[in-house]
């Protein structure tokens, strides 16, 4: 039996940060985004304290079923993105790319549902000035949708430049979008 290989000096010094999978900077981004959306959601629930009836009445204009479908769409998209990395690591490049394209397509489905949702609100004459609920609704879900759009572009780029490290970083961005949605959905669409 071989003796364990001593860890290089650099690894010992780097410590806990080196345990993070993937690029450090994507984790900095993930934490930053969680803080921004977290502050937004906490502010939303904080403002609701002063007018719970108004918030409940405003929420009846939302469609939680559509948002629920979008949850399924996004977590399935995340699954395809996660599988793409596993496939790329197994040297199955074509399959990995197809999974990334599938994840992008589901991202487009998410956005199409979101556009339909916004169109319904606009048709009802609901704007950011209708009620504070809708200011937060448009701000938080709109900012999230912008991240979905950016994520689709990122997935396209990593499908093109498909080395494993790039795919790991690009799909981590996509999972961050997924992570934010599972926290945003119950707060805005059900509890608000």
Q: At what angle do helices 164-186 and 93-123 cross, to 10 degrees?
A: 30
Question: Using CB under 8 A as the criterion, what x/- string covers residues 81-100 for binding another protein?
Answer: xxx--x--------------
Residues 171 and 82: beta-carbon distance below 8 Å = yes
Smallest distance, Å, CB 96 to another protein?
13
Copy the structure tokens of residue 59.
């929420």
Distance linking the first and last C-alpha atoms of the chain? 61
Smallest distance, Å, CB 83 to another protein?
6
Closer CB to another protein, residue 52 or residue 127?
A: 52
Tell the residue number behind the tokens 């405003």, with chain if given.
58
Binding status of residue 75 toward another protein by CB under 8 A: yes
Binding status of residue 191 toward another protein by CB under 8 A: yes
Binding status of residue 36 toward another protein by CB under 8 A: no
Count of beta carbons in the 10 Å neighbourhood of residue 102? 18
Query: DSSP letters along 160-180, please?
Result: HS--HHHHHHHHHHHHHHHHH
Binding status of residue 7 toward another protein by CB under 8 A: no
Question: Residues 62, 126, 145, 187: which binds another protein (CB under 8 A)?
Answer: 187
Question: Using CB under 8 A as the criterion, what x/- string covers residues 154-183 for binding another protein?
Answer: --------------x--xx--xx-xx--xx
């Amino acid at each position: 039996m071989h003796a364990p290989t001593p860890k290089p000096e650099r690894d010992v010094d780097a410590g806990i940060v080196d345990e993070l999978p993937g690029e450090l900077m994507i984790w900095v981004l993930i934490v930053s985004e969680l803080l921004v959306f977290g502050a937004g959601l906490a502010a939303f629930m904080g403002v609701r304290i002063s007018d719970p009836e108004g918030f409940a009445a405003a929420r009846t204009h939302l469609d939680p079923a559509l948002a629920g479908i979008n949850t399924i769409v996004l977590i399935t998209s995340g699954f395809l993105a996660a599988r793409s990395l596993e496939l790329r690591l197994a040297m199955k490049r074509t399959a990995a790319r197809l999974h990334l394209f599938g994840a992008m397509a589901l991202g487009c489905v998410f956005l199409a549902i979101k556009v339909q949702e916004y169109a319904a609100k606009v048709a009802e004459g609901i704007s950011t000035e209708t009620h504070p609920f809708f200011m937060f609704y448009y701000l938080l879900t709109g900012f999230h949708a912008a991240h979905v759009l950016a994520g689709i572009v990122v997935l396209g780029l990593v499908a093109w430049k498909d080395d494993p490290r790039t795919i790991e970083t690009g799909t981590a961005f996509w999972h961050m979008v997924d992570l934010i949605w599972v926290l945003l959905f119950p707060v805005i669409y059900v509890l608000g």
